[in-house]
Structures are given as C-alpha cells and as structure tokens.
Amino acid sequence: MKVLVIGSGAREHAFAWKLARSPQVQAVLVSPGNGGTARESGCRNVPGARVAEWLALAQHEGVDLTVVGPENPLAEGVVDAFRAAGLAIVGPTAAAAQLESSKDFAKAFMMRHGIPTAAYATFTDAVAAHAYVEAQGAPIVVKADGLAAGKGVVVAMTAGEAHAAIDAMLAGNSLGSAGARVVIEGFLRGEEASFIVVAHGEQVLALATSQDHKRLKDGDQGPNTGGMGAYSPAPVVTPEIHQRVMDTVIRPALRGMVAEGTPFSGFLYAGLMIAPDGSIGVLEFNCRMGDPETQPILMRYAGDFAVLMQHAATGTLDQVEPDWDPRPALGVVLAAAGYPESPRKGDAITGLPQDTGDLHVFHAGTTLGDDDVLRTSGGRVMTVTALGGTLRDAADRAYRGATGIVFDGVQLRTDIGHCALRQHDGT
Ligand SMILES: Nc1ncnc2c1ncn2[C@@H]1O[C@H](COP(=O)(O)OP(=O)(O)O)[C@@H](O)[C@H]1O
Ligand SMILES: [Mg+2]
C-alpha cells in the first residue's frame, strides 16, 4: 500500500520511518516532510500545507492510508474531508478534535463524564477572571482555550503572575483568538506522564507510556519548549496506575465521545499529573501523538505499524495486539540557537551518526539543499533516539550520537530521563 504522512516534524519522520519498514508498504509520501524524510529510504517529500492540497494529493497519488501528525490539520477537518471522499485516514474528526482544540470543551467534557481533573472556570471577561484568581489564590494555572503551539499555559506561582497572564491573553490579545477565552484551573502537584492510546469509538489499544521534558535547560529550568527529549516507558505509570488510567480516564472519555455523538478515532493522548499518593489528574487531552514522545515510542514498536494504523482507520482494533520491544528508548532533542524565542535558521549540520537498528536520528527543522547540505530550518532540529538494554544504556547511546552532531549554536539538555534514571540507579 501507499501511505501518506501529514506533517514535517520529528514525530512525522518517526511515523514515516516506521511505516516504510512495513512489508505491506510500497511507498511513503510525507507532506511537507523535512530534510530527514527527504533522505529516508522508502520515503518521498511532497509539498502541502492545506487540507485541500492533501486531499488532492491523496486522490492523485492513489494513497491507501493517511496518518496525520499535528493537531492543526485535525482541527481544520482533514479527517472529515478524507472520510467524505472515501479515503482511509487515522485521526479524529474536527468535532472530536475539540478535546484538544478547546481546553474549555475538554474541561466541561471531563466534568460531564466524571474524569479526574483540577477544578476550573472559564472566562472571556478579564474583570471576572481577576476576581476568580483573587478568590482562589496562587498557585493557579491560566490556559488559553485554543491551540497555541505550547505557548498558551502559564503556571502562576503568584497571583500577580496569574493576573498578568489574564491581562496578556484577554486584554492584550497576546495569543490572538486562541487566548480570547481562558480556562483557569487549580494547580496539581506530582510527576507528569504521557498516556497515549489508539482508538476507534470504544475500541482502544494503549501504546507504551512515556515522559517528556518541556523546559529548555537541565534540571527542568528555563522557558517551556515544544519538548527537549523523551523516553519510554515511564516508570511512574506502574501497572496499577496504568489500569486506573484506562478505567477512570481513557474508557470514560471514549464512551463519553460516543455518547455525545462525536466518537473519537485516532491517537488520544492524556497528559497526566500523578500525585505522590498515586491519584491521577488529567492536565489536558491531545488528539494526536506527542512530539518528542513518538520518537522513543515508535523506536520500541516491534509489530507492523502499518497494519496497526490500518486497523485504526477501519475500526478493527479488536483484531490486533500491539507488540513492544521490552527495551527502553530515549530521545534527545537538538535545538537551534535562539530556540524557543527566535530560532536561527540556515546553519549547516554535520557529524550525523549512522542510523542503526537501535539508533535513529529523526529530523524536524532541517532542509536538504540542492547542494546536498543539511541545514537548520526550525527550532527543534532533530531528535537522536536510541534503544538500550537499560534506560541508562539508551541514554548513553543517544548522547553518544547527539554529541557528534555539529551546528552553530546547538542547544541540548544533558539530563533527559533524569527522573527515571535516578530511580533506576538508586541515587
Ligand atoms: N493544573 C495544572 N497544575 C500544574 N501544572 C500544570 C497544570 N496544567 C498544566 N500544567 C503544566 O503546564 C504544562 C502545559 O499545560 P498543558 O495543559 O499540557 O497545555 P499545552 O500542552 O497545550 O501547552 C503541563 O505540561 C504542565 O507542566
Ligand atoms: Mg501539554
């Protein structure tokens, strides 16, 4: 079969790489793709930035199956358009994608269905929002309702920071229409984990668990980013917690979406806060795989991912068992100079390690020039991802690969996996 992957990040490179390895797959188109997918065996980049272009591409090329990486095309109805044209695609409809595209929708949905999450209120009026913060006190969390590419959440440790965030979003229009409505919710303590399933209606298969690192600097310091690294599995998700997440978060969510007439299909990602006492709070839903979590998760997928995606698209997930490599995987993101505020582009990249069965470099902000030189073209440049016998081995292997890569101003964290490694090493 011929497969189309929509998107241009390291997540999409990982999808394309994994799909191209399936004996069922003859060709993988990546739209628009990046410098890594341009060179990946079995893959070909095709320009594309809008739903209508991807639909025309899929029809013209005779694509059998499409997998969508990022949230924006989903919120814009790419799945609705493909289904209306009779094309197989993995992802939720625009209506179901509201679980991610509106935080107010997601919170109200969780309340309706008894899914554990922090108490909240939603505001369009700044005066009322300020009053709510005064009544609740800090710490408190202010979130833009709409899609804000990871820039829409302020975890305010003081009431002053919360007031400033409200002013910026509601009065200052700092996030445009995404921030014209804000959700203000209670602060949850604990350790975060990413819990991702593939679903179709009430059919569901849990993927391997993972954890990412959002802050730019070692020790989880510095500004928030799209993610500086991730690893799988996440030891904080014990088998007992796994079961509880399925029973109290995932299944009620899928059941609720069916009951409300907007059944969910595709990847459902619950961002969790797990408190020291084991209680679970949902921070958010995403309606797609995470980036960088996808990179280590797919490194560990031992089955035929194209077959899994076909079952997801056709609603036959009850006929397949996911198959995981028991070895942990860890990915380190190399970011461009100036990331996240104003990443510099155009720096030549050298020193890429050889891809092997247990090490792969997934590209994001790279382009391959006509001169065959690879250059930076975005904030997160690549994720160097490795499998290892232990998490420590995976980290050592990923870091050995990452430290050979050279471009001007490269930024990387040196402590990806530190939470799990500390537990693992007993230090
Ligand atoms: N209620 C909360 N309590 C504590 N921290 C939170 C809370 N909500 C969000 N955060 C922190 O902010 C980050 C981003 O919030 P999230 O809801 O995942 O939004 P997005 O990913 O859309 O930016 C989370 O990963 C978490 O670290
Ligand atoms: Mg998040």
CATH number for the domain harbouring residue 47: 3.40.50.20
Atom of ligand 1 nearest to the CA of 188: 3
Q: How far is the CA of 373 from the centre of ligand 2 (A)?
A: 34
Number of helices followed by number of strands (H, E) in the chain: 15, 22
Examine the fold and report which residue of 180, 203, 223 is the final residue of a domain before the chain moves on.
180
Confidence of residue 427 (pLDDT cuts 50, 70, 90): very low
**Cβ distance 232 to 398 under 8 Å?**
no
**C-beta of 219 in contact with ligand 1 (< 6 A):** no
Question: Is the model's pLDDT at 371 over the cut of 70?
Answer: yes
- Together in a domain, 87 and 204: no
**Domain holding 199: CATH number?**
3.30.470.20
31-45, 173-187, 277-291: range with lowest mean pLDDT: 173-187
Closest residue to atom 19 of ligand 1, CA basis:
153
**C-beta of 99 in contact with ligand 1 (< 6 A):** no
Closest residue to atom 21 of ligand 1, CA basis:
150
Q: Number of folded domains in the chain?
A: 4
Query: Considering every ligand atom, which ligand is closest to the CA of 153?
Result: 1
pLDDT of residue 127: 95
- Together in a domain, 172 and 196: no
Pocket test for ligand 1, best of 110, 155, 157, 189 (most atoms within 8 A of CB): 155
Q: How far is the CA of 59 from the centre of ligand 2 (A)?
A: 34
pLDDT of residue 424: 61
- Together in a domain, 246 and 314: yes
What φ, ψ does residue 128 adopt, rounded to 5°?
Answer: -65, -40
Range of the domain at 147: 125-180
- Together in a domain, 167 and 198: no
Q: How far apart are CA 91 and CA 114, in angstroms?
A: 25
Q: How far apart are CA 366 and CA 414, in angstroms?
A: 22
Q: How far is the CA of 153 from the centre of ligand 1 (A)?
A: 6
Q: Kindly report the pTM of this predicted structure.
A: 0.96
pLDDT of residue 108: 98
Examine the fold and report which residue of 278, 296, 319 is the final residue of a domain before the chain moves on.
319
